[in-house]
Structure 1
Amino acid sequence: MKIANGIYMLEISANIMGTSSVINPTLIWDNDTVILIDTGFPGQLPQIREAIENVGVSFDKLNLVILTHQDIDHVGSLSTILKELPNSVKVLSHQEENAYIQGEKLPVKVAQLEANLNSLPNDLKALYEKLKAFYENNQAKVDKTLTDGEELPYCGGITVIYTPGHTPGHICLYHKQCKILIAGDALQLDGGELVQAPQSTNFDRDLSINSLKMLAKYDIETVICYHGGLFKDNANQRIAELANGHLH
């Protein structure tokens, strides 16, 4: 779906724990740079390639991947993208996420499962084994570390907003020219309403609420949520409400 010139929200079908869903990586490009923000689940390279080509951009021109955070539905196809386009794609993430993406630390959701392994039901034990095996076998090198407030000189300028809470190093990205926020999992749509990600999925509840206050400082007209898609209904006002604790 076209959001602005050179900014598209991709719509990738996914199956999440037996429920069919759609995830929304973002594609941003100009003559010099093609950026994919988040890379779907493992095994989704064919769908991602098709979605990029359908926009009219050659997949082979992809040269930057920015990861909002470490979760498997955001880093899942990264290693296969890097194998498909060797030496041409640079990976960017926040410094707090690098160790997880590079396989130096067990991702926080996997570590939480591991800490409770003996009391988990069998389906969650099986999920833990799958997740652990994935992260052990699909590390990717991060080429550039991102910091809060950094202005990336691509496609008219993209601001990094450090929004920890969902994970320790979660980031959102803000395209100032178009007043678009790429929210990752800091926000999502539920029944068409912009809400915070469920607290059960957040690493640190207090940090996640504080991060909403960070987002409220920006002039945002459009929000791209990885889960739920597009929100354009008084985005500034709604984010301010969420930041002030009006979570419903």
Structure 2
Amino acid sequence: MAPPPAVAVAPGVFRIPTVGSWAVNSFALVDGDGSVTLVDTGVERAPARIVAGLAALGKHPADVQRIVLTHAHPDHAGGAKEMADRTGAPLAVHADDAGFVESGESPPNDKSYSVGRVFARLQDGRFPAVGVGEKLTDGQVLDVAGGLRVVATPGHSPGHISLLHQPTRTLITGDAIFNVLGMRYPPRFFCTDFRMTKRTAHVLGELEYDRVAFTHGPEIVGGARDAVRRFLAKSLTA
């Protein structure tokens, strides 16, 4: 069965599956004036899925006013150039990942683990380069659908961010936490600094939210904050 083109997470917040039903997700935030902010753009072939997701919401690429990337990896920034070209929207990413987006090359892998050293030799890690219009900083609140707060969670990449949509109390984790067969950290060989990834993810347990959406995995819409806090507490002893 084909996945739905768009899934409602909260009022005005929609998940757009770009690979499978939830393997890789982008998000559309619809503002009161009908404009759209995209969060992540999937792999290089994802724009067709994103455009279909927008159409299911009655939206067109011309409605997209801003594109925000959680980080500079091919499964999140691979479709950024095409979506920027289609929409004419400026691209925003944390300052520490901006150079990687503009060069079209992923940040380095964590080579303190043998699997990271092997993966670094095998992977390509490149994606279409695209210009960055805005370099984001921790704590910045974007004028998006009532307020989208930037939460720095570096480690998976140097400038990895999570996002908190304040009006609907919806957290988008980026790759700080996956929800694939249960909550888990991203594979260490995909991270620039896996230990930092685990350390900075704990800030997500200190925020206030009711729903949590994952770029890898389905959302949690009930008891989300408690679920995240239980996962983080358990990970301290793992």
Residue 179 (structure 2) pairs with residue 189 (structure 1):
yes
Residue 211 (structure 2) pairs with residue 209 (structure 1):
no
Q: CA deviation at 1:32?
A: 5.5
Partner of 1:155: 145
Q: What 5-or-longer segments of structure 1 have no aligned partner?
A: 15-19
- Residue from 9, 12, 21 that aligns with 2:18: 12
Q: What is the percentage of aligned positions where both structures have the same residue?
A: 23
My pick for the range that moved more, 222-231 or 62-71, is: 222-231
Partner of 1:169: 159
Partner of 2:23: 22
3-state SS, counterpart of residue 215 of structure 1: helix
Paired with 2:30 and 2:89, the residues of 1 have a C-alpha distance of: 14
- Amino acid in the other structure paired with 2:231: L
Q: What 5-or-longer segments of structure 2 have no aligned partner?
A: 1-6
- Amino acid in the other structure paired with 2:30: W
3-state SS, counterpart of residue 214 of structure 1: helix
Paired with 1:233 and 1:5, the residues of 2 have a C-alpha distance of: 15
Q: How does 1:1-248 map to 2 (within 5 A)?
A: 1-13=7-19, 22-30=23-31, 31=33, 33-85=35-87, 88-103=88-103, 106-109=105-108, 125=122, 127-128=123-124, 131=125, 134-135=126-127, 138-191=128-181, 193-246=182-235
Paired with 1:4 and 1:237, the residues of 2 have a C-alpha distance of: 18
CA contact (8 A) 1:28 1:34 kept: yes
**CA distances 1:152-197 after superposition (whole Å, capped 9, x unpaired):** 1221111000000111110000012211001111111132x22222
TM-score by structure 2 length? 0.85
Q: How many residue pairs were aligned?
A: 227
Paired with 1:231 and 1:13, the residues of 2 have a C-alpha distance of: 19
Paired with 1:27 and 1:9, the residues of 2 have a C-alpha distance of: 6
CA RMSD of aligned residues (A): 2.7
**CA distances 1:61-85 after superposition (whole Å, capped 9, x unpaired):** 1110000000000011111122223
Q: CA deviation at 1:45?
A: 1.6
Q: CA deviation at 1:8?
A: 0.6
**CA distances 1:134-154 after superposition (whole Å, capped 9, x unpaired):** 44xx21111111110111122
3-state SS, counterpart of residue 8 of structure 1: strand
3-state SS, counterpart of residue 24 of structure 1: strand
Paired with 1:40 and 1:61, the residues of 2 have a C-alpha distance of: 19
Paired with 1:79 and 1:194, the residues of 2 have a C-alpha distance of: 30
Partner of 1:17: none
**CA distances 1:216-245 after superposition (whole Å, capped 9, x unpaired):** 111122111111121234222232233335
**CA distances 1:64-108 after superposition (whole Å, capped 9, x unpaired):** 0000000000011111122223xx30100000000100118x422
Q: 1:109 to 1:23 in 2, by over 3 A?
A: same
Paired with 2:210 and 2:184, the residues of 1 have a C-alpha distance of: 16
Partner of 2:4: none
Q: 1:194 to 1:142 in 2, by over 3 A?
A: same
